[in-house]
Amino acid sequence: MRTTVGIIGAGPAGLLLARLLHRAGIDSVVLESRDRGHVEHRQRAGILEQGTADVLRAAGAGERMDREGLRHDGIELRFDRRRHRVDLPALTGGRSVMVYAQTEVCKDLIALQLKEGGPLLFEAEALAVEGAAGDRPRIPFRHQGREDVLECDYAVGCDGFWGVARRAFPAALSRVFERTYPYAWLGVLADVPPSHGELVYARHERGFALLSMRSPSVSRLYLQVPPGTDTAEWPDDAIWTELGRRLETDDDWRLERGPITQKSVTPMRSFVHEPMRHGRLFLAGDAAHIVPPTGAKGLNLAVGDVVTLARALVHERRTGSPDLLGTYSATCLRRVWQAERFSCDMTTMLHPAPDGTPLDARLQRARLERIASSRAAETDLAEAYTGFPLG
């Protein structure tokens, strides 16, 4: 098989890159190791920055998002049984975010790709990337039990944290920056209208809790738990009781309970691989960097990477100049590090560490109080939450 851009992975990064290239008349092939149902149903991110929503619209993939997504103009911080609303548009010159799940973004992009775009092969596992430093990278892959090779002008690893593309970087070139956090998130989906109209990020001595949503009738909720927690340790009643405790306020706010339809545990890490390019191989999204989920940045960063890469590939095809491909890694990394900083700040402000001291607890509270009492501090949060500009 032969194509211009060989894309490994059909998560948000790979699917959107294929879509952007197709719109610019550049052909690609997407290899995805899992089946379509798996990609369309795994529960992950839920918040799109305004810039991400704009990119999806411009790519012709925003129609259902605009119909079914929920525009949110604020988030609530809860601590010491108090509530503080952050008014996003008022602090950012009108910017907001969109609640529209990653599952839905992927469904929309897959449907468009299968209808209009180049080949998208499910159950096609890339085994390696070969010859990245040469003129014609090769991606050996296994599809439905048969081995084949995808030859391309450029290879792009959109294959997530556990993918193969990163391994093709020479050890002498790679620099890895990493931290794992001493807690994880237990996430649940529940068939109950969200108990609050906007997202609630809560710090409590017992641990962090997050109230989010997927639609006006489906809630998405998270609890801080120890790493390695098994969902079997958390019966539904225990989850509701714990959420109720951590989200409790001094006023008459109440958490509504409903049937829990899904549970999963997500570890939390900060991770950056530098650089994001080696010869004709590029990394995008989780393949290159991971943020802890507290700032809702992971999916949005993946979108920023592929917009930058698509622009650079189109520029090279149209003008013959490799300049933008040459600056791809540095351009993305500037934004990546801002998101890493913000996600780490939000995480460490809102999660009591298991070995945290009383001093740490007071400092977390002081950081929250600073946001609640200083327009400058609150603006800093609102700007980061609604999204950093593309470089």
> Which residue type is seen at 321?
S
Question: Rounded to an integer, what distance in angstroms lies between the CA atom of residue 263 and that of residue 258?
Answer: 14
Q: Give the shortest CB-47-to-ligand DHB separation in angstroms.
A: 5
Q: SS3 for 154?
A: strand
Residue 294 binding partner per list ligand DHB, ligand FAD, none, with a CB distance cut-off of 5 to 8 Å that depends on partner kind: ligand DHB
Q: Answer yes or no whether residue 291 interacts with ligand DHB by CB under 6 A.
A: no
Burial label for 263, CB within 10 Å (0-12, 13-18, 19+), is middle
Size of the site for ligand DHB (CB under 6 A): 10
Q: Rule CB under 6 A: is residue 13 a binding residue for ligand FAD?
A: yes
Query: 366 in helix, strand or coil?
Result: helix
Cβ 255 to ligand FAD shortest distance, Å: 20
Touching ligand DHB, residues 185-214 (CB under 6 A)? 199, 212
Q: Which does 199 bind (CB under 5 to 8 A by kind): ligand FAD, ligand DHB, none?
A: ligand DHB
- Examine the residue annotation and report whether 201 is marked as an active-site residue of this protein: yes
Alpha helices in the chain (DSSP H): 12-23, 36-41, 50-58, 63-68, 88-92, 102-116, 236-247, 298-319, 323-350, 358-373, 375-386
- Given the residues 100, 154, 328, 385, select the one marked as catalytic: 385
Query: Counting contacts by CB under 6 A, is residue 86 touching ligand FAD?
Result: no
Q: Which of 62, 137, 285, 292 binds ligand FAD (CB under 6 A)?
A: 285
- Our finding on whether 44 is near ligand FAD (CB under 6 A) is yes
Candidate list 100, 154, 181, 201, residue with the active-site label: 201
Calculate ∠ Cα 44-271-34, nearest 5°.
40
Q: Are 336 and 301 in contact (CB under 8 A)?
A: yes
Instruction: Write out the two tokens for 84.
Output: 């503080």
The CA distance from 145 to 127, in Å, is 13
Q: Are 207 and 352 in contact (CB under 8 A)?
A: yes
Query: Residue 299 touches which of ligand DHB, ligand FAD, none (CB < 5 to 8 A by kind)?
Result: ligand FAD
Q: Is residue 98 involved in binding ligand DHB (CB under 6 A)?
A: no
Q: Is 107 a catalytic residue?
A: no
Catalytic residues, by residue number, are 72, 201, 293, 297, 385
Q: Given the rule CB under 6 A, which residues bind ligand FAD?
A: 8-14, 31-34, 39, 44-45, 102, 125-126, 158-160, 163-164, 266, 285-286, 293, 296-299, 302
